[in-house]
Amino acid sequence: MSAPVVLAGHDLVERALLAATVSDTVVLVADVSAASLRWAGNSMTTNGIADSRAWTVVSIVRDGDTARVGTVSSTSADPDDVVAVVRAAEDAARTAPPASDALPLIAGDEPEAGWGDVAARSGIEVFESIVPGLARGFDGADALYGFARHTVRTLWLGTSTGVRRRTVEPTGSFEINGKRGGLLDGASAWVGTHTRDFVGLDVDGMLAELSRRLDWSARRVELPAGRYETILPPSAVADLMIDLMWSMDGRGAHEGRTALSAPGGGTRVGERLGTLGLTLYSDPAEPGLEYAPFVVAEASSDSVSVFDNGADAERVEWIDDGVISALAYPRSAAAEFGTRPTVPGDNLVMTGGTGSTLDEMVARTERGLVLTTLWYIREVDPTTMLLTGLTRDGVYLVEDGRITAEVNNFRFNESPLDLLRRSTEAGATVPTLPREWSDWFTRAAMPPLRVPDFHMSSVSAAR
């Protein structure tokens, strides 16, 4: 029996566009090659590789100034299914309500470089550089759990208006959780990082940091809920700032539905946040944190539009020197509100700190807390961007410039906007892995932040 025919990504785009019969069509094809390692109790448990394809047809039926959009996605690799998926998208478009964001599609003239190349691949060999360090860690006394993941997504985007764009996005993460003194009642600590290729990853340094955090847990102190001077390391800062960026859509702010809405109408663009002069930006060309340099939208939202597929994505400074300077606007919303289109980012970087390390910030702290990671973050009130969540895997007491004990976990209630207004110190910006959002968002570089009155709203029984 002969092997089934699998179309190359660019060929699938062209075949779907050729089958289209409606006014306009957008085709997105994503081939993902993934490799993973997982370990528990100082032993490798699983490893594997997997390849997958997901593709989407966006059909647009136009009648004068009215446009209706239908979207159908598929994971089929059978070339014979292409026409059926296209027809299903077209049928969905004919019965859809008029699109409020309707505009002409972005025009293109010729395929960009690499359009006809095959999909890039990952493989188990990507982990070769980290295995020796892990083996040394497995020989230690602490029980290590964790995983390494690497995906390479090759994305093709083509439209009936001539756009032909391709990009390759390698994304990796490496996380280790260490246990000392038992799984249920012992100490627990976490370290993690983002990487594109695992080259140069300092596993020994990460294990040393993990051991240091477990050493801090030798003494335990119970503290009540309250407001504490708190140093947030880069990972925790990333989780909170990602939530902020996800909330920065222009339409919601203009319509009074978000924390970026100004009292009395309009938006908070131009408002200063605190005194530190921090800058928060997304940039598809940021070294080590690169992402697709064009709009990829399977569906429209307040932040993106299917009609903008293929448009250039550029650097956006969401906060510039402490001042809110941009919100996300698709082209249609930008025209409606008299501003420029702004594309949400797939990385997030904060700069403008003093350059101090977290250890140096701790050394200047008379009494306070260091919390290493956050989890189960949920929005409580979108109009203030109030978030709640839990601390996890290490909250530590600082006394006279030294970490002296582990303390209990807490539930927190905080707004990222208010944190920026109240923060009194930011340290050196370093690449980091946002632990809570790492399944969806891994590309971040953040400084540690000092908050004089971080709100630990209640004590958590979690260990």
User: 82-94 vs 9-19: helix axis angle to the nearest 10?
Assistant: 50
Instruction: DSSP for 91-156, please give it.
Output: HHHHTSPBPTT--PPPP--SPPTTTTPPPP---GGGGTTTHHHHHHHHTSSSEEEEEEEEEEEEEE
Orientation angle between helical segments 203-216 and 131-138, nearest 10 degrees: 30
Please report the pLDDT score of residue 4 as a whole number: 61
**What pLDDT does 183 receive?**
73
Q: What is the pLDDT of residues 294-324, one digit of tens each?
A: 999 999 999 999 999 999 999 999 999 999 9
Average pLDDT estimate for 219-229: 97
Between CA 333 and CA 341, with CA 339 as vertex, the angle to 5 degrees is 60
Q: What confidence tens digit (pLDDT) does each residue in 54-94 have?
A: 999 999 999 998 999 999 999 998 999 999 999 999 999 99
pLDDT reading at 442 higher than 50: yes
Residue type, 411: R
pLDDT range class, residue 2, cuts 50, 70, 90: very low
> Is 463 a residue whose pLDDT tops 80?
no
Task: Tally Cβ neighbours within 10 Å of residue 265.
Answer: 9
- Round the average pLDDT of the chain to a whole number and report it: 95
Q: Which helix (H) or strand (E) holds 449?
A: strand 449-460
Pairing of strands 449-460, 409-414: antiparallel
Is the pLDDT assigned to residue 37 strictly greater than 70? yes
Beta strands 164-180 and 425-426 are unpaired
Mean pLDDT throughout 125-129? 95
Tens digits of per-residue pLDDT, 362-372?
Answer: 999 999 999 99
Q: Is the pLDDT of residue 334 over 50?
A: yes
Name which of 143-147, 181-185, 419-423, 425-429 the model is least confident about: 181-185
Of 413, 406, 405, 414, nearest to 463 by C-alpha is 406
In the predicted model, what is the mean pLDDT of residues 411-415? 97
The per-residue pLDDT for range 254-279, each reduced to its tens digit, is 999 999 999 999 999 999 999 999 99
Least confident of 184-198, 333-347, 354-368: 184-198
The pLDDT of 166-180, averaged and rounded, is: 96
Strand order in the sheet with 348-351: 323-324, 316-320, 279-282, 348-351, 444-446, 430-432
> Following DSSP, what letter does each residue of 253-273 receive, concatenated?
HHTT-STTBPTTSSB-TT-B-
Structure tokens at 137: 């860690």
Closest to 444 in 3D by CA, of 273, 288, 276: 288
Q: How far apart are CA 228 and CA 226, in angstroms?
A: 6
Give residue 186's Cα distance to chain centre. Answer: 31
What is the percent of the chain with per-residue pLDDT over 90, rounded to a whole number?
A: 95
CA of 335: how far to CAs of 240, 328, 341, 418, in Å?
30, 13, 8, 30
> What does each C-alpha distance from 390 to 158, 383, 414, 421, 443 come to in angstroms?
43, 21, 11, 22, 22
Per the listing, tokens 């980091």 go with 432
For residue 225, is pLDDT > 70? yes
pLDDT in tens, 3-25: 566 899 999 999 999 999 999 99
Per-residue pLDDT at 462: 76
Predicted local distance difference test score (pLDDT) of residue 286: 97
Burial letters for 44-69: b for 16+ Cβ neighbours within 10 Å, e otherwise?
A: eeeeeeeeebebbbbbbbeeeeebbb
